[in-house]
């Protein structure tokens, strides 16, 4: 099992990218890469399943190679690392916590893109969205958070 969590601030002048999908929004997530908080949470969960540290250890935000990089590229590198350690990903279950915009219409496409990178059937990649009902920093639209669990087995 692996668990991942991530949180990024919302700012103006950035696209909102979640699970590799660009979602129409007046604000986007800030970060060194494309700040795709969902893809980061899944990557962290994969690393966690094998006790390989966190995403920042593998892709430091001080490294110019990762500036503006698509997080799907990072996820692809992480799943490759998991495979080289002799593990196979079985399934992913992730939740995005966002007040706005409404993510439900985009969830199937996110699952499809993530499944493509992970080389998993799409029915083994669950992407859900929850609204915090106005509570806390996510409710005030200061940021978007994501959580993910993965299960892996020995190849
Ligand atoms: Mg992140």
The CATH number for 96's domain is 3.30.1330.50
Res 4: pLDDT: 98
Interval 88-105 mean pLDDT: 98
Q: Among 4-18, 48-62, 94-108, 119-133, which is the least confidently predicted range?
A: 48-62
pLDDT (average), residues 115-140: 98
CA of 6 to the centre of ligand 1 (A): 5
Enumerate residues with CB within 5 Å of ligand 1 (an ion). Answer: 6, 40
Q: What is the whole-number distance in angstroms between the Cα of residue 133 and the centre of ligand 1?
A: 23
Residue 3, token pair as written in the block: 């668990």
Q: How far apart, in Å, are the Cα atoms of 55 and each of 27, 30, 43, 108, 155? A: 24, 16, 7, 25, 23
Query: What's the predicted TM-score (pTM) here?
Result: 0.97
Look at residue 155 and tell me whether its pLDDT is greater than 90: no
CA 68 to ligand 1 center in whole angstroms: 12
CA dihedral sign, ordered 74, 75, 78, 84:
negative
90 Cα to the center of ligand 1, angstroms:
23
Tell me the CA distances in angstroms from 21 to 12, 16, 34, one per residue in order.
18, 8, 11
Q: Give the domain range for residue 139.
A: 2-154
Count of structural domains, the chain: 1
Beta-carbon count within 10 A of 26 CB: 11
């Amino acid at each position: 099992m692996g668990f991942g969590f991530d949180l990024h601030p919302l700012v103006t002048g950035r696209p909102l990218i979640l699970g590799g999908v660009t979602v129409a929004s007046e604000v986007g997530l800030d970060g060194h890469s494309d700040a795709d908080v969902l893809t980061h949470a899944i990557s962290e969960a994969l690393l966690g399943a094998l006790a390989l540290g966190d995403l920042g250890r593998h892709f430091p935000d001080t490294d110019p190679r990762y500036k503006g990089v698509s997080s799907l590229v990072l996820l692809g590198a992480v799943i490759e690392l998991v495979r080289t350690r002799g593990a196979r990903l079985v399934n992913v279950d992730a939740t995005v916590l966002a007040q706005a915009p409404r993510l439900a219409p985009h969830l199937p496409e996110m699952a499809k893109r993530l499944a493509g990178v992970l080389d998993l059937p799409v029915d083994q990649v669950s992407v859900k969205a929850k609204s915090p009902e106005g509570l806390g920093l996510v409710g005030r639209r200061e940021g978007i958070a994501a959580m993910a669990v993965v299960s892996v087995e020995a190849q």
